[in-house]
A and B are shown apart, each in its own frame.
Chain A
Amino acid sequence: MRELKASMAGTVLNILAAEGEAVTAGQAVLTIESMKMEIPIEAEFGGKVEKVHVEVGGFVNEGDLLLTVGE
């Protein structure tokens, strides 16, 4: 199981991957809005999304856990 963490603080604008869904490395899995800009957050690795730890509209700090992805 690997963890995808927030690379910067911001508000979660949308979540593009659902729990149970397979994602590939480089795929945009959610969008964070920070400093008036929308930033796509890409999966650093492929696998099945085990859990989504954030919700739309929620605030995340740098380093916060976003998703856990299974092997």
Chain B
Amino acid sequence: MKKILIANRGEIARRIIRTCERLGIETVAIHSEADGDLPYVGEATQAVLIGPNPVVQSYLQIEKIIEEAKKHGVDAIHPGYGLLSENADFARKVAEAGMIFIGPSSDIIEKMGDKIQSRRTMKQAGVPVVPGTEEGVATLEEALQEAIVIGYPLMLKASAGGGGIGMVRCESEQALTQQFASVKNRAKAYFGDDIVYLEKFIADARHIEVQIFGDHQGNLVHLYERNCSVQRRNQKVIEESPSPNLPQDVRERLCEAALQAGRAVGYTNAGTVEFIVSPNNEFYFLEMNTRLQVEHPVTEEVTGLDLVEWQLIVAGGGELPAQDTIESKGHAIEYRIYAEDPKTFFPSPGKLEKLQWGEGARIETGYEEGNLVTPFYDPMISKIIIRGSDRVDALSKSQTFFNQTEIAGVKTNISLFKEFIRSEEFIAGDYATAVLPQWMEKTKEEHTL
């Protein structure tokens, strides 16, 4: 592989360029009008203006991106995460155009993108899935009937959904009746498909995922787990590995179940198997992400590996190392810094007047001081990854880092992190997915007392 095109933007484009540079691979970056001044554009070997600011006119322009890739004579396309990374149609068209799509085959993407089908596939492979409907529920009557068997509270989800969008928790028959049509309509609007299904709601659950990797020789390995339970609006904010308060035997069984899931579909390249883990350590398959994850640096920090390099090796036909050579050492925590109000979580676009980072962290950012955080894309400014000899060490380094960090020009969630990482809930480590909103509610009450 001599030259690749990166069909993405910001920090992940920059991250991919860094590995390519080290390996002597040339890169072609694509950018919208608004992104022309971002560092990744200048750091790539070549850069192409792909279109106007809205993603549908730029980063989601399948035909245009493939055309540019061909024009530049690239061997492969790296989709990053988000945008076209889990678009089976894009993966197929890249392959048809005679280039390598850096990721699994379009068939696997399709199979795992349909949540009902992926649940069925996993169940057949012996991987435990959250109890729920086997098929989509077409009508409200059918949903109410199925709900009696599953029991309340339950989750009403879009089969084509993901990333925290297109799902709602229903406490009762009334709630399900109220939500049914609206979730169906939203699914149609967002994902072009209005199929919905029901899943049992697992109370006080943790969200733990396992990083897996497959090659074209049939080897499949895992790179341990990440706990991603600190969330806001069903989206991850902090991820860490190893997962605190997880017994070693459960950890091993989780990793084994993830490999079973990967084997069931003949998985290749980087993938993540997400599980819901109950307070008594029962776990269920939730979904599979067929791409590099935002939080992949957490795994890189504990294993000492470069996952982008592995993606390039596998895509080029290379072989993976043996499972017993992959070790996890120490502890790593990733914090996602968002341009948003730390209380309401409303976005806060603007100019980064000051961007002063603390010491002792790996910083993955798509911005430099003076850049604009525009309203057209995701609010993430940066990922902060802190590694320690153990969790206590990582937490203490995190505190130092945040105390030294100063960002001006946009609102950020740094003040929230400063407080939250000192909370009993986070320090104890046995937190569930509702920990952040619950802690915020509690501190708000304490302040008003």
Contact = CB atoms under 8 A, between A and B. Distances in A.
Nearest to B347: A35
A10 B53 CA distance: 12
Contacts of B349: 8-10, 34-35, 62
A10 B379 CA distance: 12
Interface of B: 54, 339-340, 346-350, 374-379
B347 A39 contact: yes
Interface residues on A, range: 10 to 19
B346 A9 contact: no
A1 interface: no
Nearest to B233: A37
Interface of A: 8-11, 33-37, 39, 62
Nearest to B373: A35
A8 B348 CA distance: 7
Contacts of A37: 346-347, 379
7 contacts: A8-B375, A9-B375, A10-B347, A11-B54, A33-B375, A35-B378, A39-B346
Nearest to A33: B375
Contacts of A62: 349-350
A10 B373 CA distance: 12
A42 to B, nearest CB: 12
Most buried by A among B54, B349, B350, B379: B349
B338 to A, nearest CB: 9
Contacts of B339: 35
Contacts of A34: 347, 349, 375
Contacts of A35: 339-340, 347, 349, 375-379
A36 B350 CA distance: 15
Nearest to A36: B378
Contacts of A11: 54, 375
B164 to A, nearest CB: 11
Given A35-B340, A35-B375, A35-B376, 11 more contacts: A8-B375, A9-B374, A9-B375, A11-B54, A11-B375, A36-B377, A36-B378, A37-B346, A37-B347, A39-B347, A62-B350
